[in-house]
Amino acid sequence: MRQGLRRGGVSRHDLQMKFSTQHGRPPRLSEVFVADPVYFVTFCTWQKQSLLADNAVLDAFQQAARAVQCHEVAVGKYVLMPDHVHCFIRVGKDGSISLTVKGLKRAITKALHAGKKNVRVWQDGFFDHVLRSSESYSEKWKYVRENPVRSGLVTRAEGWPFQGEVENLRW
């Protein structure tokens, strides 16, 4: 018998196998064993469309990020690239990373569809990684902040207008 965490007689491995075959991707963990975890999150546009480096999108993202604060969620630093978003999100015990990303995507989609025909905006899902320390946060931020430079969009990270911080996430 496989050793592992058991819930109702079913091992985590069994659950992962069931969900990964049903949905074609690994499942989200039902629990994170860190109080108020900070996630590094990336979500991408459908077929790498360059839609997001736009002032209306930036405004919609910032407004949505402020709106989730009442749900024990805080959006920290972020960079909006033309075809993807990187951000850091702290989730309290009653918060949800999935619902937060869904809300951010929805707000951006509404901004994009204002005055335009409905087009598919997002790839399904998102990538997330739970950070383990303040050092990890600062290292990831340094890397993410340089994305516009590596992509040839600006010569210095400070020159990219679609980045910032909604709330200071402290460790």
Domain residue ranges of the chain, discontinuous segments joined by +: 1-31, 34-165
Q: Is the pLDDT of residue 57 over 60?
A: yes
Number of H helices, E strands in the chain: 5, 7
Residues near 134 by beta carbon (within 8 Å), at least 6 away in sequence: 171
Segment of 3-7, 87-91, 131-135 carrying the highest mean pLDDT:
87-91
Helix (H) or strand (E) holding 64, with range, is: helix 55-67
For residue 132, the model assigns a pLDDT of: 86
Q: Does 3.40.50.2000 match the CATH number of domain 34-165?
A: no
How far lies 150's CA from each of 82, 106, 156, in Å? 13, 28, 10
Condensed to tens digits (0 to 9), the pLDDT of residues 12-36 reads 344 344 444 444 555 544 444 567 8
Token pair of 145, please? Answer: 């902040």
Q: Measured in Å, how far apart are the chain's first and last C-alpha atoms?
A: 40
pTM of the model: 0.78
Considering the chain, what percentage of its residues have pLDDT values greater than 70? 78
Q: Is the pLDDT of residue 163 over 90?
A: yes
